[in-house]
Structures are given as C-alpha cells and as structure tokens.
Amino acid sequence: METLADPRAAARWCAREREQGRRIGFVPTMGAIHEGHLELVRRSVRDTDVTCVSIFVNPLQFDNPEDLARYPRDLDADLALLERAGCHMAFTGTLEQFFPGIGDPGAVPREDAGPGAAGLEGRQRPGHFAGVATIVRRLFELVRPDCAYFGEKDFQQTLVVRHVAAGLGYPEIVVCPTVRDSAGLAWSSRNVRLSAAERRCALAIPRALTAAREAWRRGERDAGRLSGIMHEVLDGSGLEVEYAEVRDPEHWQAEVSTGRLRRAQGLVAARAGETRLIDSMRLDR
C-alpha cells in the first residue's frame, strides 16, 4: 500500500492509475479506522481496480471545537488496518494542503450542501454539512474516483455527497449498510470514548431502530407513530435524545415527517454522557 502525506501527490498517483485504464474506488474517512470503514474498503476492492482512502479530520465540519480536539487519531494503526483490507493507497493532508493559501478554516469558501442538509443533523449542527460538502468536493476533484463509498449510518451525509457528485458529474455514490458490533451498536470512531455504562445506554439506539423496523413489518406506516415507537424505547435509556424520527428517504424535507409513509428510514442522534452518537436504518427492506 502506498502512503502519501500530500493531497497533490495523491492526485498524481490517481492520475497515473487512471492513465493505465484502472477504475478508482475511493473511501473518504476521518481515521480511527474500524469495521464500518473496513467494510467500505472491502466493497471498493471488490468493485474497482484500485482503492484509495483519505484520512483527514476535517475541521470545517466540526461545529464544536472540543469535539474536534478530542477526536481519536492513530495513523499507524489506521494504515495497518487499511493495508490488510486491501487498500492500495492511503493519503493524509493538512487543511493548508487541501486549500492552499487559506490559513484560517473560517475563510475557506463553503460549498452548497443541497436540500438533504435541511433538518435533523443540519439543524443540530449548523454549518456541519457545508463543511462536509466542501471537503468532499475537494477530495473528489483530487482523486477523480469512478465510485465513492459511504455508510448508511450517516444517512443525511449520503444525501449531501450525492448532491456534490451530481454537481461534478462524478463519481458514482455507493451507500453501504451500517456495520454493527455483536451487540448491535453501530461502529463509530467515537465509541472508544464510551464508558461501559454509557455503552449499555447506547444500545437503546439500535433497539429503537429495530423496534420501528418490526412495527413497519407489522404494517405500521404512520411517520409519527413509528417515531413514537423509537422514543418509547429511548425514553428512560439514560441517553439524551436529540432526535429520533422516521422519514421517507427519497422525499427529504426540513420539517418533521407526518402521515403515511411509502418508504422509511429511521434516524437517531443521542448523547451518551459527553459522546454524541448517530445511527440510521432502512426500515422497509
């Protein structure tokens, strides 16, 4: 596996691969690599000729400076895991390297994140999705991938990256199912911060999503009642719930969904102690 600490060197590496006629798969990450990331890498390795991964804790998408400072980082461990999963090239960079000549994160011109950024995460974390869209566009321009792989766990983010890709005309966006540990908790870089007690509380999140999926399978279609089922599971779990909603994933809107749904995506954000967790599950499949 090639390891590059300069985004321009990564762009040159990708250009050479493209000239050889190879299809490029790309997995953008913020590092602290876990099974969720590795599944995206394995899928890319299966689908394309060469797979590259970026590791960059993007300051533009953090609305909370403490969260940014405490974000877990372990580059050597990350590179070893990526190599074992079959990654061909991993690269890192600094904000200055990604946006030359702009020293201050606040001065980087933000991309439009599109309609998928409205509501839920977009409401809880102002500016977050514009920061995501800005770095994702830059990464896509550097790598020029054929396919880029994202996790369903960050469902609203998949709407934002589809918007960026539609603007550029590439790459194909492939959304992969949320990978969970044996207890059902979605893998997340932030899980390492959970105490044993907080982890137990956090398990209410997949329980709530599963309860809504079971209700869907029994024939419940009302958005409000499906969301209510999730709240019932989450209430009294010890988590501080930011939102728990069921929406039509193909008709995104800023407001809370009401009425009968034809498709259903469960979305939850909650805090276990100081750690903010999000999760998402398709309920109608």
44, 92, 156, 188: which one binds ligand AMP (CB under 6 A): 188
Ordered alpha helix ranges (H), 108-251: 121-124, 128-143, 155-168, 196-202, 204-217, 223-234
Residue with tokens 């890709």: 165
Q: From the candidates 34, 37, 88, 163, which is the catalytic residue?
A: 37
Residue 37 designated active-site: yes
10, 38, 40, 233: which one binds ligand AMP (CB under 6 A): 40
Residue with tokens 């959970």: 194
Residue with tokens 């409000």: 224
Q: Under rule CB under 6 A, which residues in 145-184 are in contact with ligand AMP?
A: 150-151, 153-154, 176, 178-179
Q: Least distance from C-beta 243 to ligand AMP, angstroms?
A: 18
Q: Least distance from C-beta 184 to ligand AMP, angstroms?
A: 11
Strand-strand pairing, 275-282 and 265-272: antiparallel
* Residue 29 binds ligand AMP, judged by CB under 6 A: yes
160, 164, 186, 208: which one binds ligand AMP (CB under 6 A): 186
Q: What pairs with residue 29 in β-bridges?
A: 55
* Residue 189 binds ligand AMP, judged by CB under 6 A: yes
Q: Least distance from C-beta 218 to ligand AMP, angstroms?
A: 26
Q: x-or-dash pattern for ligand AMP, window 133-152, by CB under 6 A? A: -----------------xx-
User: Helix (H, G, I), strand (E, B), or coil: what is residue 228?
Assistant: helix
Q: Which amino acid is at 261?
A: L
Number of residues that bind ligand AMP (CB under 6 A): 17
**To the nearest 10°, the Cα dihedral for 36, 38, 112, 122?**
10
**To the nearest 10°, the Cα dihedral for 125, 131, 132, 138?**
180
User: Helix (H, G, I), strand (E, B), or coil: what is residue 277?
Assistant: strand
Q: Which is nearer to ligand AMP, 62 or 187 (CB)?
A: 187
Return residues touching ligand AMP (CB under 6 A): 29-30, 36-37, 39-40, 150-151, 153-154, 176, 178-179, 186-189
Known catalytic residues are 37
